[in-house]
Amino acid sequence: MTTQTKQVEVPQGWEAFAWKWMRYSGVLIFILAWIHVLIQDILVGVYQIDINYVAGRWNGGFWRVYDFLLLFFAFSHGMNGTRQVLTDYIHSAGARRALNWILLILWAIVVVIGTIAIFAFTPPAA
């Protein structure tokens, strides 16, 4: 007996991108967050972290970029998940469109504020 495999055509639109984003960003968040926990909570210890520690860590560009990526992927993943959950309960196309715009604007505001905080931070004078 032979079985035939039928390939399914998946439309490549916004929802397909959002579906893939949740999977890829989830893997990246998992890796970035656990490295963060390992360094900050286990190797350094939360009681050793103060403004001077952050200033020293952010003197180079690597940790600023790392923290930006953690912010970007985690918040994007969370907002996309929020959007997907809320669309289960919102059945009007107009309301869904408004929801998407509201979430996009909120996402942009938080990412811009976080980016400014990460990259414009000036360490205190020692």
CB atoms within 10 A of CB 40: 15
Is the separation of the CB atoms in 30 and 96 below 8 Å? Answer: no
**123 three-class SS:** coil
Q: Which residues contact 99 (CB under 8 A, 6 or more apart)?
A: 83, 86, 87, 90
- Which residue is it, tokens 């809320």? 86
Which pLDDT score, from 0 to 100, does residue 125 have?
63
* Mean of pLDDT values over 33-54: 88
DSSP conformation letters of 24-91: HHHHHHHHHHHHHHIIIIIII-GGG--HHHHHHHTTSHHHHHHHHHHHHHHHHHHHHHHHHHHHHH--
The pLDDT score that the predictor gives to residue 1 is: 62
pTM over 0.85: no
Average pLDDT over residues 34-39: 92
Q: What is the per-residue pLDDT across 62-112, written as a single tens digit (0 to 9) for each?
A: 999 999 999 999 999 999 999 999 999 999 999 999 999 999 999 999 999
